[in-house]
Structure 1
């Protein structure tokens, strides 16, 4: 049994889903671990992780629109605004999604469905550099 740890740095361009599938697959392959469990951990309170449709980009657009309606940037609704009017809504969106994913690994690759991709979900308007910690354990 072995384990490896890596930090994936992801640049965002403001709100939206940023694909991270390829760098995650490449890193898993580089570890030489064939069978195991991959954990992804987002080190932020205003961004999250998700597994989502990777074929049709309109799915990502609909998700972004849904979250805008579900948790609007309305300053009259929130007390916390230390970093601007998108600060508290970003925290709430993160709370409603995932900051951690666990994915089985088989044959040296994360086990994803045909139409599944991995995404960092940026909840802030400004561009950020986000850190995703990748941990794999297996043989």
Structure 2
């Protein structure tokens, strides 16, 4: 069995963003030369997320509105976690959106359903963060 890993780095200047990282993960898969296996895409920071869904701007807007209703950023004093930083809401948003995605690799391609894409969700940007891509298989 072969194994491949790479870290993708992101420096999102906004507090929150959804970035389609599918092309970057597909590039990793091509570099790995793995044709059959599994691809793990994992946010390595506790205020960021990796998830799979449709690449549709209306949906991304709906996520933003929904997440802000679930865990509003302000007022920041509503959270016990806030003190040194004001990112308690980002931790909660990450928990809802998830830490990682696992995608089957079939015939050298990411084996998606219709419309599926991989996204990096940033909930407390303005500093460099990374995503781990780990691919195993033959």
Same fold (TM over 0.5): yes
C-alpha displacement at 1:83, in angstroms? 4.4
Is the contact made by 1:49 and 1:118 (CA closer than 8 Å) also made in structure 2?
yes
What per-residue deviation string (whole Å, max 9, x for no partner) do you get for residues 1-53 of structure 1? 11111111123232021111100011101111001001111110111111011
Is the contact made by 1:37 and 1:138 (CA closer than 8 Å) also made in structure 2?
yes
The two structures have a TM-score, normalised by structure 1, of 0.90
Please give the residue correspondences for 1:71-90 in structure 2 after superposition, counting only pairs within 5 Å: 71-73=71-73, 74-85=75-86, 87-90=87-90
What is the distance in 1 between the residues matched to 2:24 and 2:110? 11
Runs of 4+ in 1 over 6 A off after TM superposition: none
Matched, 1:69 2:69: yes
What is the distance in 2 between the residues matched to 1:30 and 1:108? 11
Provide closer, same or farther for how the CA distance between residues 138 and 53 of structure 1 changes in structure 2, counting only shifts above 3 A: same
Aligned residues: 136
Partner SS for 1:34: coil
C-alpha displacement at 1:112, in angstroms? 1.5
Please give the residue correspondences for 1:108-127 in structure 2 after superposition, counting only pairs within 5 Å: 108-124=108-124, 126-127=125-126
- Give the gaps of 5 or more residues in structure 1: none
What is the distance in 2 between the residues matched to 1:80 and 1:101? 27
- Give the gaps of 5 or more residues in structure 2: none
What is the distance in 2 between the residues matched to 1:76 and 1:31? 46
What is the distance in 2 between the residues matched to 1:24 and 1:39? 10
The two structures have a TM-score, normalised by structure 2, of 0.91
* RMSD after superposition: 1.4
Query: Which residue of structure 1 lines up, in the alignment, with residue 51 of structure 2?
Result: 50
What is the distance in 2 between the residues matched to 1:18 and 1:71? 20
